[in-house]
Amino acid sequence: MILISACLAGIHCKYNGDNNVVPEIKKMFEEGKCVAVCPEQLGGLPTPRPSAEIQGRRVINTEGVDVTKEYEAGAAEALKQVLQAGCQEAVLKAYSPSCGCGKVYDGTFTHTKVNGNGIFTKLCIKNGIQCITDEEYKEKKR
């Protein structure tokens, strides 16, 4: 079973109330071949919500509110779900403070990317789940 960021399956859970649908991933989800999670919603954050970025060890939104607890709680809950489903691979939303894999936005809200992983991705990797971004997934499919 493959883990995916829910927004990639067309689920409207992105911070602005939209999604980041990837048609091939949506099809896999509809066929029951993957598990979709949104750690941010699982942490109790509403949709829509102010966007957030990692600043040091904290997750801060555009209103200056520290939402680290919500991100950590959502990541823990999402991990429980994906471990129960037996997921060993993941396709996660690039640059997200939850799901970013290899690079995330730097916390300045200027779309500047730095090396690092999102809160949820760190937990996945620690638990042996191989993670790639939606961008890497699309490149492989070309």
pLDDT per position as a tens digit, 10-39: 999 999 999 999 999 999 999 999 999 999
Which DSSP string do the residues of the chain spell out, in sequence order?
A: -EEEEGGGGT-S-STTS-----HHHHHHHHTT-EEEE-HHHHTT--SS---EEEETTEEEETTS-B-HHHHHHHHHHHHHHHHHTT--EEEE-TB-TTT--SEEE-SSSS--EEE---HHHHHHHHTT-EEEEHHHHHHHH-
Q: What is the mean pLDDT of residues 123-136?
A: 97
Q: Given this model, what pLDDT does residue 4 score?
A: 98
Domain boundaries, the chain: 2-141
Q: Given this model, what pLDDT does residue 124 score?
A: 98
Q: Is the pLDDT of residue 108 over 80?
A: yes
Confirm whether pTM is higher than 0.75.
yes
Work out the pLDDT band at 142, boundaries 50, 70, 90.
low
